[in-house]
Amino acid sequence: MFFTYLRRELRRRRKAALVVASGLALGIALVIVVSSVSSGMGKAQEKVLQSLYGLGTDMTVTKAMETSEEGGERPERPRFSFDAQAEGSGEEQSTDHVMVQGFQSLADSTVDKVGEQSGVADAVGGLSLQVVKVSGEFTRGRFQQDGQGGQDGGQGGPGGAGGAEPSEGGRVQGGGADFDVNSYSVYGTDVTEPKLGPLTSSRITDGRTFKASETDAKVAVVDSAHAKEKELETGDTVTVKDTKFKIIGIATAESGDAAADLYLPLKQAQTLADAKDKVTTIYVRATDSQQIDSVKSAIQKNVSGTTVTTSADLADTVSGSLSTASSLATGVGTWLSVAVLVTAFLVAGLLTSSAVSRRVREFGTLKALGWTSGRVTGQVVGEAVVHGLMGGVLGIALGLAGAYAVTAISPTLQAELGGGAGGSGGMGGPGGGPGREAAAKTLEVALTAPVGLTTVALAVGLAVAGGLVAGAFGGWRASRLRPADALRRVA
């Protein structure tokens, strides 16, 4: 009888059922969209952080550059010297300068020291370098006395004037420089630890990555953007400071910018930079993600002078539209969902209560026939729960459609990282330029709204809860109904 009565009532009061279910559906759909967008924001932030750290890295250890007043290492200023060639020789000269980028270098032994700290599962070093290559023709000018044939003289330095200069009794003609400056980043990576380090933020899209045995090999992995720009392919050779490296693979950054244009075995990078046994960044993986804070404290305490940056620290520095949207989703979105949901619950409750008022005679009659208050209340609650479940189904459908729409549109969000003061030594990634301040890095990530099973389970829970809240309102009224009053009121 319960189900027959329930079915008939729901069919008879379709419009009322639809109104209650729609209200609940709206609230539930909003909860699904907001939680899926929040989850998408989280994933976007993870992507941003991974683009700096690489997958599996819980924190980085660096040492900030000291200013000249503090008297430490100073960023090198590159200096280039070229001998002028005779005019018309056509010989191209080039030289490249390799320098450590972003941070003060740390001794290799620091990697071991960090690795020995409690809670550290693994620690590997990386060396971030900047290569500046100048190449071109540098020709002498010709000194020409008035009325006489010229003789070689003067020298066209970099940027030097190529035109004639007046001089006493004669002048220099011709000569000058035609050169190109090419700058790119190189990252020395520990090939024995392929699961940790800068290359983990990229995916090998052609060729292969380093083998553990290639510590001393003259091999390189090139970032796909750099490869495209320089028209490099797997199997080609790239020359850095007169050393030729064979390109074994092309890496593509998972999101945003790559960690470097060129990846070399750490030992090769150290040799190029004349930084034997030096690293700039130590990548650390903790044994337990819950222990990251304690590991950070241990490293800071035991390895003095270093800066430990966790993904949480990094996340705090994220600004731009991603940060704004994330704040909106977690702040306004959450409160909006709660407000709509509470309102939907209340409206459903009031509508159910009002429906009971309209059915006073019906419930009064049933009580007169010997139906207990519990049985009458159960009938009311049953109807409300079905309304809730209808709202849940409708809300899940709406919410999934909303989340799908967000994913389909995939609005692009910008994440600005590490802009401004680099008091903490800047970020662990190679985005920081030379000097104390880390350069701001802007990444673009597409927002998705993934709906997990937990979210759907939450929606079903909310639907049942909404039905129960509404049923509680109506059931309370129905249980308080005295049959004599009910029948007298409608007599």
The smaller minimum CB distance to another protein, of residues 7 and 228, is found at: 7
Binding range to another protein, per CB under 8 A, among 101-109, 177-185, 358-366, 450-458: 358-366
Q: How far is the CB of 12 from another protein (least distance, A)?
A: 5
Q: How far is the CB of 355 from another protein (least distance, A)?
A: 13
The smaller minimum CB distance to another protein, of residues 12 and 228, is found at: 12
Residue by residue, DSSP assigns 185-254 as EEEEE-TT-TTSSGGGGEEEEEE----TTTTS--EEEEEHHHHHHHT--TT-EEEETTEEEEEEEEEEES
The residue from 246, 358, 480, 482 that contacts another protein (CB under 8 A) is 482
Where are any strands of DSSP class E within 65-200?
A: 93-100, 106-107, 120-139, 141-145, 150-153, 165-167, 170-173, 176-189
Compute φ and ψ for 44, nearest 5 degrees: -65, -45
Q: How far is the CB of 370 from another protein (least distance, A)?
A: 2
Cβ pair 178, 137 in contact under 8 A: yes
The residue from 195, 208, 358, 488 that contacts another protein (CB under 8 A) is 488
The smaller minimum CB distance to another protein, of residues 333 and 364, is found at: 364
SS3 category, 297: helix
Cα dihedral 34/38/44/48 (nearest 10): 150
Q: How far is the CB of 452 from another protein (least distance, A)?
A: 40
Residue 1 found at the interface with another protein (CB under 8 A):
yes
Beta bridge partners of 100: 129
**Quick one: tokens of 35?**
């939680």
Q: How far is the CB of 382 from another protein (least distance, A)?
A: 14
Residue 12 found at the interface with another protein (CB under 8 A):
yes
Kind plus residue range of the DSSP H or E element containing 20: helix 14-53
Residue 491 found at the interface with another protein (CB under 8 A):
yes
Distances (CA, A) of 353 to 114, 218, 366: 65, 79, 18
Binding range to another protein, per CB under 8 A, among 33-41, 149-157, 187-195, 483-491: 483-491
Q: How far is the CB of 368 from another protein (least distance, A)?
A: 5
Interacting residues with another protein between 134 and 163 (CB under 8 A): none
> Which of 342, 318, 335, 323 is CA-nearest to residue 440?
318
d(CA 129, CA 102): 8
Binding range to another protein, per CB under 8 A, among 201-209, 336-344, 359-367, 413-421: 359-367
> Which of 233, 229, 230 is CA-nearest to residue 205?
233
Residue 8 found at the interface with another protein (CB under 8 A):
yes
- Helices and strands in the chain, H and E counts: 13, 19
Binding range to another protein, per CB under 8 A, among 78-86, 129-137, 336-344, 357-365: 357-365
Q: How far is the CB of 359 from another protein (least distance, A)?
A: 9
Residue 480 found at the interface with another protein (CB under 8 A):
no
Identify the DSSP state of 290: G
Residue 489 found at the interface with another protein (CB under 8 A):
no
Interacting residues with another protein between 360 and 399 (CB under 8 A): 361-362, 364-373, 375
| Contact code string over 23-42 relative to another protein, x by CB under 8 A | --------------------
> Which of 417, 435, 413 is CA-nearest to residue 425?
435
d(CA 135, CA 402): 55
| Contact code string over 158-197 relative to another protein, x by CB under 8 A | ----------------------------------------
Residue 14 found at the interface with another protein (CB under 8 A):
no
The smaller minimum CB distance to another protein, of residues 465 and 487, is found at: 487
d(CA 307, CA 313): 11
The smaller minimum CB distance to another protein, of residues 89 and 372, is found at: 372
Q: How far is the CB of 366 from another protein (least distance, A)?
A: 6
- β-pairing, 59-62 vs 307-310, is antiparallel
Q: How far is the CB of 11 from another protein (least distance, A)?
A: 7
The smaller minimum CB distance to another protein, of residues 451 and 486, is found at: 486
d(CA 462, CA 388): 8
The smaller minimum CB distance to another protein, of residues 16 and 26, is found at: 16
The smaller minimum CB distance to another protein, of residues 75 and 483, is found at: 483
CB neighbourhood size of 409 (10 A):
12
Residues at the site binding another protein, with contacts judged by CB under 8 A: 1, 4-5, 8-9, 11-12, 361-362, 364-373, 375, 482-484, 487-488, 490-491
